[in-house]
Amino acid sequence: MTPVEVAAVDLGATSGRVIVGKVGGGELSMRTLGRFENRAVPTPNGLHWDMLGLYRGALTGLAAAVREHPSIASIGVDSWAVDYALFGGGRMLGTPYHYRDARTAAGVEAAHALVPFAELYRRNGLQFLPFNTLYQLAAERAEGPLLGLADALLLVPDLFGYFLTGNAVAERTNASTTGLVDVSTGQWDDGLIELLGLPRGIFPGLVDPGERIGATLPYVQREIGADRPIDVVAVGSHDTASAVVGIPMQDASRAAYISCGTWGLVGLELEHPVTSDAAREANFTNEGGVDGRVRFLHNVMGLWLLSESVRQWELESGSAIDLPTLIAEAGAITTPVAVFDPDDARFAAPGDLPARIAEWCREHGEPVPASWAEFTRSIIESLAEAFAKTVQTAAELTGRDVDVIHLVGGGSLNTLLCRRTADRSGIPVLAGPVEATAIGNVLVQARAQGATGASLEELRAIVATAFPPLRYDPRASSVE
Ligand code: LFR
């Protein structure tokens, strides 16, 4: 197979990047050509994403990609899930909201008054997260006229696909996070959309990862300096869907995974959804994966707890904090620290997280951390404990045996987190790759170009060779 080069645009909650991947003959190499910040923007009417700033960052990165790798065969875009832009008459209506904006609380109440949660779960298989698109749309509907003016809704990667090609689609893995896709058929649930009083016409046709969305428009070609139109290909456009493709699992039936960045997505890959009462009560989700697989997982709060705490300390102290030093100091602590519930809803909104952690500890009779290092250790121990418990619950809910936990994403660089997850679960942790999401994005494009074998297992074997994971065995004296 001739090697191909493709460009991945990967948008995370704190930064975006453009990475060129070269794939062929079972080999894979990745090169970062652009990196840009993603900072939420508070305004009088709530918390928003700087969507056009992100698009500018993507175009600048793509220009660098084309300059250095003029033969790139395609472009694929992934991002966090659930958030969207509304379009009317070809124009974006307003600035897209950030899922951490507080407006969704009213949407939850409005939606559950029309369709109770148990019925929603039966239909969409999604864990309850107050920002699932359907709740945001229920809030939007109650708020004002915007929804009535819209003729299209585009999730973030689909918005970029539209900007790049002029074609509006809904990529299926990300569409599954709206709560409006039928978990058993993978199609828009027209009945549910009607029950919720939403306009069916705004939801574009669904496409699968690997399908071509279109070719870059002439203005894009000029912006990125390309001498020809470049194909834009749908990937697992939900970042977690791409990340799971990029996990070097050898036997997915005995492996659990943790995709750890802002969130810690903890679960298993299944062939069929599990929407039992027990799964609903444990708040496990059945998101759509690449090739029709199911991401059976639970959202643990993730490194958001640390990054938002660091942001607060930097604001208070007026100086920059070196994260590796802070984590090393946290690792050196030998006295027990508080283990709190990272999933407590009070930790979801931006702001002074250390104060909220301290409040949780006081309420629950746990020792209140007394220094930045103690807070950091407490966050890492709490995440490791939640990861371990969630893996165990996933195994119980599915009747599976788990012999290995893959930890990918930014969290895989956090040695203390990997080690403590192994200790607390009693299961070996295989850490890396850090860029699993961009790797999954690249591999699905490369497969569409014929540069790899057809199965996910073949794609994962390529990852295992190119980025061998680091192993952490659980230690006997596990919990301190
Ligand atoms: C991870 C992620 C999660 C989703 C959350 C919000 O980046 O996509 O899967 O639940 O962000 O969209």
The pLDDT tens digits of the residues spanning 400-440 come to: 999 999 999 999 999 999 999 999 999 999 999 999 999 99
Q: Is ipTM strictly over 0.90?
A: yes
Residue of 10, 240, 259 to test ligand 1 pocket, by largest number of atoms within 8 Å of CB: 240
Read off the tokens for 260: 């750890």
Residue 468 covered by a domain: no
**Where in 241-354 does DSSP place strands (E)?**
255-260, 264-270, 285-288, 294-300
How much distance in Å is there from the Cα of 436 to the middle of ligand 1?
14
Atom of ligand 1 nearest to the CA of 81: 12
- Whether residue 478 is predicted with pLDDT greater than 50 in this model: the reply is no
Catalytic machinery residues = 239
- Is residue 45 located within the same domain as residue 173? yes
- Is residue 282 located within the same domain as residue 324? yes
Task: State pLDDT tens for residues 336-391.
Answer: 999 999 999 999 999 999 999 999 999 999 999 999 999 999 999 999 999 999 99
Calculate mean pLDDT across residues 254-274. 98
Residue 74 covered by a domain: yes
Calculate mean pLDDT across residues 460-473. 98
Residue 100 covered by a domain: yes
How much distance in Å is there from the Cα of 177 to the middle of ligand 1?
9
**In this predicted structure, what is the pLDDT of residue 476?**
76
Structural contact between residues 405 and 256, judged by C-beta atoms closer than 8 angstroms:
yes
Calculate mean pLDDT across residues 250-271. 97
How much distance in Å is there from the Cα of 28 to the middle of ligand 1?
26
How much distance in Å is there from the Cα of 193 to the middle of ligand 1?
22
Residue 79 covered by a domain: yes
How much distance in Å is there from the Cα of 252 to the middle of ligand 1?
21
DSSP string over 356-377: HHHHHHHHTTPPPP-SHHHHHH
CA 303 – CA 324 distance, rounded (Å) = 14
Counted domains in the chain: 2
Q: Which domain holds residue 421?
A: 250-432
- Is residue 363 located within the same domain as residue 271? yes
Name every residue whose Cβ is closer than 8 Å to that of residue 30 and which is 6 or more positions away in sequence.
19, 20, 21, 22, 435, 438, 439, 442
Task: Give the 3-state secondary structure of residue 411.
Answer: helix
- Amino acid (1-letter code) at residue 423: D
Helix or strand holding residue 231 (H, E) = strand 231-233
pTM higher than 0.95, yes or no?
Answer: yes
**In this predicted structure, what is the pLDDT of residue 143?**
87
- Is residue 177 located within the same domain as residue 313? no
- Is residue 202 located within the same domain as residue 84? yes
Atom of ligand 1 nearest to the CA of 129: 10
Residue 50 covered by a domain: yes
- Is residue 225 located within the same domain as residue 259? no
- Whether residue 295 is predicted with pLDDT greater than 50 in this model: the reply is yes
- Amino acid (1-letter code) at residue 221: Q
Atom of ligand 1 nearest to the CA of 259: 1
- Rg (C-alpha) for the chain, rounded Å, is 22
- Is residue 90 located within the same domain as residue 148? yes
- Amino acid (1-letter code) at residue 158: D
Q: Name the average pLDDT for the chain.
A: 97
Calculate mean pLDDT across residues 4-13. 98
Residue nearest to atom 9 of ligand 1 (CA): 240
- Is residue 189 located within the same domain as residue 311? no
- Whether residue 479 is predicted with pLDDT greater than 50 in this model: the reply is no
- Is residue 169 located within the same domain as residue 315? no
Residue nearest to atom 4 of ligand 1 (CA): 81
Residue nearest to atom 8 of ligand 1 (CA): 80
Read off the tokens for 462: 């390529």
Residue of 10, 77, 78, 82 to test ligand 1 pocket, by largest number of atoms within 8 Å of CB: 82
**In this predicted structure, what is the pLDDT of residue 1?**
62
Backbone angles phi, psi at 45, to 5 degrees: -105, 25
The CATH number given to whatever domain includes residue 428 is 3.30.420.40
Ligand 1 pocket, residues with Cβ under 6 angstroms: 13, 80-82, 99, 238-240, 261-263, 265, 299
Final residue of a structural domain among 181, 198, 233: 233
User: Which range (100-104, 119-123, 169-173, 375-379) has the least confidence?
Assistant: 100-104
Closest CA to 79 of 229, 237, 212: 237
